[in-house]
Structure 1
């Protein structure tokens, strides 16, 4: 908190699901008002999410964002009009390793994101409606993932068996070390992306693009893919419902997303230093 006073935050990079949104993917008026207050105070505000970029376009409009945002955990940065700024693809070798590991688990639904689209093979599973509700559209059904291996944005293992995903994460890490990032964006999703496709790299790239020093940045999130941006942000804020391993890597902890913890953090830690005198 004292650091925030010494280095007023000029740019915030925020996670979306579990942070700005309630569990039902709704946006509270308090959070919407807090983001508006940030922008009115001259604080640059952007999003970093595991979502595909095209699923973030309505969020860009909702929040009135006028700077680039990061989709696919930082794998693809897009301008507010949807134009690609930077894209990092998963190496085919890492994609094949992840697909083989995940496909061997009956409780896991395996999804691929390529060309910005959500792809699945076979019959739909129980996790698909949840993802459809979050993205606002459903997957394309393909016979094989092989034709897309040269342009994979992200591979996802989705399962209600969260312990299984923890185990798969631990098993996959050594197999793709140096080739890919592996992290749980939410307890029920295990994401595999390119090495540079992480929120920490996204924060550094966006801050440089906007001309903001890292000590004047803040990051807020709740998932296993968020500490990457905590490590480089001037102020790192963890949501109240985050796992303890995530909270320990933040500077401060705010309320849960049900309690509008993001709005609370903006009101307590950032807006006071920008108060109009």
Structure 2
């Protein structure tokens, strides 16, 4: 870690001694690189369920890309999509949603156009693209099992966008743009990469810290009794406020510096190991006061 990363980590308050809720990122965290759930993860979730600890999902994905995992995970809880811009109950009914200003949407789209970055819009449960056959769209269609709306003109959606995503195979470009777009939209939007190839722009109040607070409120669990797990910069807002913040082994040093502890990678059952090592020992024993 760099000196500033070490200082940030050392300045964090001690982790909670009590965990009553787990809030987790999905891609790069709960899921393997090929978007699967391992047996070890299912076993860890079963242990949490037996101990009375719910698991809630928070992701940059749209709602349908999150709820599609409910059956496999055997969970039925509220969740947050679009980095917290949309909060849904367990039946996928929208409880609350935030949108970007039309001006911020246009500015982001102009910036992506200048740098030849493929732009997507997320409006409610709609995913809107210019072309569904190029770039990362075919991959995303397969991953979230959703067909996007194809539109050459994004104007009809500009005033009801919960997230703008720029996708590119040029990871270095998106890393630079994360800072540039963040400066351009400072005070108007949250800007963070959710993957090396995705740069997400969401309403200023819409981040995973907001999502964690809302999920805790819905389940009547205070923030300081919530454990969270994440791997990317868009997870930092929840890592900063959770009672127990866990970074994946595949997280960068910067992201890890915002966590209390770090587990193994998502290729090596890091999520399940984190639950066994850090979370379950902090779960209150049934009947204990």
**TM-score, length of structure 1 as denominator length:** 0.94
Of 47, 52, 68, 1:37 maps to 47
Of 258, 261, 269, 1:249 maps to 258
Which residue is 1:219 aligned to? Answer: 228
Moved more, 138-147 or 183-192: 138-147
Moved more, 20-29 or 208-217: 208-217
Whether the 8 Å contact between 1:14 and 1:46 is mirrored in structure 2 is yes
1:119 aligns to 2:137 (yes or no)? no
Q: How big is each residue's C-alpha offset from its partner over 1:179-208, in whole Å with a ceiling of 9 and x where there is no partner? A: 110000111100000112100011111112
Distance, in Å, in 2 between the alignment partners of 1:71 and 1:9 is 23
After superposing on structure 2, the runs of 4+ consecutive aligned residues of structure 1 that deviate more than 4 Å are: none
Of 19, 26, 37, 2:29 maps to 19
Whether the 8 Å contact between 2:85 and 2:206 is mirrored in structure 1 is yes
- Structure 2 residue matching 1:65: 3-state secondary structure: coil
Which residue is 1:157 aligned to? Answer: 166
Which residue is 1:64 aligned to? Answer: 74
Distance, in Å, in 1 between the alignment partners of 2:248 and 2:166 is 24
Whether the 8 Å contact between 1:60 and 1:80 is mirrored in structure 2 is no
Q: How big is each residue's C-alpha offset from its partner over 1:5-42, in whole Å with a ceiling of 9 and x where there is no partner? A: x6211011100011111111111111111111111111
Moved more, 77-86 or 120-129: 120-129
Q: How big is each residue's C-alpha offset from its partner over 1:54-94, in whole Å with a ceiling of 9 and x where there is no partner? A: 22122223223232100001110101111111111111111
Distance, in Å, in 1 between the alignment partners of 2:135 and 2:215 is 36
Of 161, 183, 186, 1:174 maps to 183
Distance, in Å, in 2 between the alignment partners of 1:211 and 1:45 is 13
Whether the 8 Å contact between 2:231 and 2:252 is mirrored in structure 1 is yes
Question: How many angstroms does 1:131 deviate by?
Answer: 1.2
Give the RMSD, CA atoms, in angstroms. Answer: 1.7
Of 33, 36, 48, 2:58 maps to 48
Distance, in Å, in 2 between the alignment partners of 1:245 and 1:63 is 30
Whether the 8 Å contact between 2:18 and 2:284 is mirrored in structure 1 is no
Question: How many angstroms does 1:3 deviate by?
Answer: 5.0
Distance, in Å, in 2 between the alignment partners of 1:3 and 1:244 is 19
- Structure 1 residue matching 2:69: 3-state secondary structure: helix
Q: What count of residue pairs does the alignment treat as equivalent?
A: 274
Distance, in Å, in 1 between the alignment partners of 2:165 and 2:281 is 39
- Structure 2 residue matching 1:86: 3-state secondary structure: strand
Distance, in Å, in 1 between the alignment partners of 2:181 and 2:133 is 24
Which residue is 2:5 aligned to? Answer: none
1:232 aligns to 2:222 (yes or no)? no
Whether the 8 Å contact between 1:116 and 1:153 is mirrored in structure 2 is no
Which residue is 2:92 aligned to? Answer: 82
Of 114, 118, 123, 1:109 maps to 118
Which residue is 1:97 aligned to? Answer: 107
Show structure 1 runs of 5+ residues with no match: none
Question: How many angstroms does 1:256 deviate by?
Answer: 0.2
- Structure 1 residue matching 2:162: 3-state secondary structure: strand
Question: How many angstroms does 1:262 deviate by?
Answer: 0.5
Question: How many angstroms does 1:275 deviate by?
Answer: 7.8
